[in-house]
Structure 1
Amino acid sequence: MTAEVDVSPAIEDLLGRHGDSAAEAILEDVLKRAFVRRTALVSSFGTEAAALLHMVAAIEPATPVLFVDTGRLFGETLRYRDRLVERLGLTDVRSLKPEPRIAAEDQDLMLFSRDADRCCYLRKVLPLRKALEGFDCWINGRKGHHGGGRAQMPVAEADGFLVKITPLARWGADDVDAYYETHDLPRHPLWEDGFPSVGCLPCTVRASAEDGFRAGRWAGAQKTECGIHLPVAEVLRRAGGC
C-alpha cells in the first residue's frame, strides 16, 4: 500500500469477518488471502513468542520475521531465538540493528537510565519503522492479559498506512499455557527464573504474577511501552524528536 491508500476498508473487512475467529483463522486469512507476501511478523522471541511463531510457521513458514536486536538483549533471548528458528523451520528471520547514531548518543551504554524513551526509539522503534517499509501489514504478539492499554485491543487496526494485526488480542495467560502444552513448545529460559516478560537486560527485572505480566519492564519508571505500539506523534514527543 502507498501513502495514498486508505487502510480503513481493509480493517473494517477483517473486523467484520473475524469478530469471534480463532487466531489461526485470522492468520490464515491475512497470510493466504488479504495480504499474500505483503505481511511481516514482528517477534521479540520473548516469553510467550513461540505460540504465534508456531502458528505462522504452520501456515506460511516463509513469512518474514522481524526481530529487533537492540544490542542489549539477554544472551538467553538470542539463544532461544536460534532454538525456535530451527525447531519451527522459519526461513526468513531478519535481525534489525539499532539506528547507527546510537553509537554517538550512548557511548557509555547508560542512555537507558538517562532517557529510556530515547534509547527505545533508537534501538527499537526507528529500526522497525524502516524495516516495515515495503510491507502492507504486520502481525504482532500482544495479548489482552498483559493489562493496561492492551486489555481492549482490536484484532486489526491502522498503524499509519499499514494494517496491524493482533491475532492473540483476546488471549489470556491460560490460553498461552494451554497452547505451549498442546504443541510441546519450549519456554524462554528466563521464564522459570522469575521473568514473565523479557526485554533488554538493563531494563528488565524479575516480577511476580501478582504484580502484573509486564511489571518487570522499566520497573520504577513512568514507562510501560517501548514505543513500537504508540502513535508516532507520541513517540516523537517522548523521544525528543527524530
Structure 2
Amino acid sequence: MAEAARKLDIVDVRPAFTQADADALNARFAGVETLTMLKALFAEGILGTTAVVSSFGTESAVLLHLVARADRSVPVIFVDTLKMFPETLAYREQLIAAFGIENSWVVEPDAAVLAAKDDKGLRWSYDPDGCCEIRKVEPLKRAKAGLDSWISGRKAFQSVTRQNLPRFEVEDGRLKINPLGDWVKPDLEAYFTEHDLPRHPLEAEGYLSIGCQPCTSKVQPGEDPRAGRWRGWEKVECGIHVAEKLGEEPVF
C-alpha cells in the first residue's frame, strides 16, 4: 500500500475533454453493469490519468470495492481536512487494507493558509463555505492537478441537488465519472450484504452522511440523508462538486 501527498507546486494543465466525449460515453455505457463499465474504462485507458476521490463515508465502501475489483492500482484520494472524525480515519485504513488498494493519496490543507485564515480552527462556526474552501476544495484542487479525469461517489438519490446525475460529465476540462449515479439505497444495501462490506462505525449511531466532525450531525427519521450536513446553514455541498472557472483563484 502506497501513501503519497500531492505536491503544492504541480502545474494544473487540464485536458481537453468535451461534452461530446461525455455524451458518447454515456451512450456507450447506457445500461451497462457498473463493474463491467469500470473494467472497460481502465483496460482501454479511456480515462487517462485518473483517481477515485473518496470521503470514506457511510456509502464509500461500495464504489471502492467495485474499483478495486476492476483495478486495484487505481489511486484513491482522501482529503483529510484535519477536522475528520477519528472513526473515519480508522475506517479509511480498514477499507484500504480489506480491498487491497495499492495507491492511496492523502491531501491536507495548506498549513500557511490555515495559519492565515483559520488560526483558531473555528472558521467552520461562522463561515462554513470559507472553511470548506480552505480545508477541502483547495487541497483537492491540488490533488487533481495531474489528473485527466476523476471518479466520484455521488448518487442522484442523495439530495435534490444531485438529481439527473449522468455517469459521465465534463467539469473544468476534466472528465468526471459518477459510476453509482443511478444507484439507489436498496442497491447499495444489497451490495453491502452480498459482499459483506465493513460499515462505517458511525452509521449505526444515525450519521447517514459523514463529513467533518463539527459540521456533521445525526439524521432524524424521514429526513434527507444529507440533512445532517451543515445543519442550520443554507449549505448543501462542500464545494468540490461545483465547477470552477479556468484560472480563477479560490476566495478564502
Q: For 1:138 and 1:4, locate their aligned partners in 2 and report how far apart those are by CA, in whole Å.
A: 12
Query: What residue in structure 2 maps to residue 189 of structure 1?
Result: 201
- State which drifts further: 140-149 or 194-203: 140-149
Question: What stretches of structure 2 of length at least 5 have no aligned partner?
Answer: 1-11
Given that 1:61 and 1:91 are in contact with CA atoms closer than 8 Å, whether structure 2 keeps it comes out as yes
Structure 2 CA distance for partners of 1:207 and 1:16, relative to 1, 3 Å: same
Say whether 1:208 aligns with 2:213. Answer: no
Aligned residue among 81, 98, 119 for 1:70 = 81
Query: What residue in structure 1 maps to residue 234 of structure 2?
Result: 222
Q: For 2:37 and 2:181, locate their aligned partners in 1 and report how far apart those are by CA, in whole Å.
A: 11
Secondary structure of the corresponding residue to residue 176 of structure 1: helix
Structure 2 CA distance for partners of 1:168 and 1:209, relative to 1, 3 Å: farther
- TM-superposed CA distance for 1:27, in Å, is 1.4
Structure 1 runs (4+) deviating above 2 angstroms are 1-10, 34-37
Say whether 1:168 aligns with 2:168. Answer: no
Q: For 1:32 and 1:210, locate their aligned partners in 2 and report how far apart those are by CA, in whole Å.
A: 42
Q: Deviations over 1:193-225 (max 9, x none)?
A: 010010000000001241111000001100000
Which one has more relative contact order, counting CA pairs under 8 Å at least 6 apart? 2
Paired residues in the alignment total: 238
Structure 2 CA distance for partners of 1:209 and 1:145, relative to 1, 3 Å: farther
- TM-superposed CA distance for 1:3, in Å, is 4.2
Secondary structure of the corresponding residue to residue 52 of structure 2: strand
**In the alignment, residue 213 of structure 2 is paired with which amino acid?**
L
Given that 2:210 and 2:216 are in contact with CA atoms closer than 8 Å, whether structure 1 keeps it comes out as yes
Given that 1:35 and 1:136 are in contact with CA atoms closer than 8 Å, whether structure 2 keeps it comes out as no
- TM-superposed CA distance for 1:104, in Å, is 2.0
Aligned residue among 163, 169, 192 for 1:180 = 192
- TM-superposed CA distance for 1:21, in Å, is 1.9
Higher fraction of helix: 1
Q: For 1:144 and 1:23, locate their aligned partners in 2 and report how far apart those are by CA, in whole Å.
A: 15
Secondary structure of the corresponding residue to residue 193 of structure 2: helix
Structure 2 CA distance for partners of 1:92 and 1:6, relative to 1, 3 Å: closer
Given that 1:35 and 1:137 are in contact with CA atoms closer than 8 Å, whether structure 2 keeps it comes out as no
RMSD value over aligned CA atoms? 1.8
Q: Deviations over 1:81-133 (max 9, x none)?
A: 00101100001100110123012211111100121111101111111111111
Secondary structure of the corresponding residue to residue 174 of structure 1: helix
Query: What residue in structure 1 maps to residue 65 of structure 2?
Result: 54
Secondary structure of the corresponding residue to residue 94 of structure 1: strand
- State which drifts further: 130-139 or 69-78: 130-139
